[in-house]
Amino acid sequence: MTYQPSSERYKNMDYRRCGNSGIKLSALSLGLWHNFGNVNDFENSRNLIQTAFDNGINHFDLANNYGPPPGSAEENFGKILKQDFKNYRDEMIISTKAGYTMWDGPYGDWGSKKYLVSSLDQSLKRMRLDYVDIFYHHRPDPETPLEETMTALDLIVRQGKALYVGLSNYNAEQTLQAVKLLKHLGTPCLIHQPKYSMFVRDPENGLLDVLEKQGVGCIPFSPLAQGLLSDKYLNGIPEDSRVATSGQFLNESHITAEKIQKISLLNNLAKQRGQKLAHMALSWLLRDNRITSVLIGSSKPEQIIDSIEALKNIIFSEEELTLINYILNDK
């Protein structure tokens, strides 16, 4: 059956300017870190992409190693694009990354020009694309000169393989150096993708200020702290939760009595705001105008629709923000 996107798809989504660029991103973007590999049900993955697009989410975020196995998320996304979206490519922002281990040997990891150019070539083949909209360096490389990595990003744009470039997991100082190099090369940094949530607030230690001053957008990943910032763990560990089924990025040791108490107090505040805790966690990030978009993950189409509810209430009073900081023990 031929997919026909909703004609109402742009009516209920908020689109935000990405730094000092001409690009606007949907306030929520769909990350393909989980649920799009060969181990997952292809038709469900397809439904997730369709549901996101039907509801105004037009930014889809991948990386070379997403799966499992690595590369399979890009392959499956490429199949979905060919089946359903060949007439809608120009309405989509598609991003991918390189920086973590992708293949054996010294050229399949980190930040060399050899690795970044080769990896993107492979990604484009897997996704059956001529170019991506955004190509990220996935993490800083302590051994490769930053000039080499940034020159590689500049080259990729000049080759027409990416329209824009971004950084991920760089701290404030590394980001400032990289952004200045890219600006000098003539390929400004569009966006930065840090890990950021109520439970992980490192970007507040200078990074957000650097991005604001340099005119770079920000798109946090893991905004729900791998599901901790939801009501699913308030009464124990559900059998279908990420803790129970994987444990790779979140395990039982993360779910302490102190953490559960914080989650419970945050959940009570969310109820007072007329929100679910997950909605409030997304709203809390989006209240900051330095945040362009927030990456959500999803295993079910209805979860995407539910996440969009967060956009209905992103205003916080000073009292609410003070209480959140108190609960989190952040002075």
Angle at the Cα of 34 (from 112 to 127), degrees rounded to 5? 60
pLDDT for res 246: 55
Banded model confidence at residue 101, pLDDT cuts 50, 70, 90: very high
pLDDT confidence of 198, banded at 50, 70, 90?
Answer: very high
pTM equals: 0.94
Residue 282 has pLDDT above 60, yes or no: yes
pLDDT at 331 over 50: no
For residue 141, give the CATH number of its domain.
3.20.20.100
In a domain, 136, yes or no: yes
User: What rounded mean pLDDT belongs to the chain?
Assistant: 95
Q: Does a structural domain hold residue 326?
A: no
Q: Tell me if 129 is assigned to some domain.
A: yes
Taking CA atoms, 231 is separated from 2, 226, 262, in Å, by: 37, 12, 11
28: in domain: yes
pLDDT tens figures, 218-264: 999 999 999 999 988 887 665 665 554 555 555 566 678 889 999 99
Check residue 3 and give its pLDDT: 97
Tell me if 183 is assigned to some domain: yes
Give the position of tokens 């037009």: 58
The answer as to whether 51 is a domain residue is yes
Is residue 271 one of the residues assigned to a domain?
Answer: no
Q: Is 306 buried (19+), middle (13-18) or exposed (0-12) by CB count in 10 A?
A: middle
Token pair of 77 as six digits: 């996304």
Q: In what helix (H) or strand (E) does residue 31 lie, and over which residues does it extend?
A: strand 28-31
DSSP track, 235-292: TS--TTSHHHHT-SSS-GGG--HHHHHHHHHHHHHHHHTTS-HHHHHHHHHHTSTT--
Q: How long is the chain?
A: 331
Q: Residue 323: inside a domain, yes or no? A: no
- Closest by alpha carbon to 284, among 199, 171, 211, 168? 199
Structural domain tally of the chain? 1
Element (H, E) at 79: helix 72-84
Q: Which domain holds residue 133?
A: 15-227+289-299
- Residue pLDDT, tens place only, 103-149: 999 999 999 999 999 999 999 999 999 999 999 999 999 999 999 99
Average pLDDT over residues 160-183: 98
CB-based contact 165:136 (threshold 8 Å):
yes
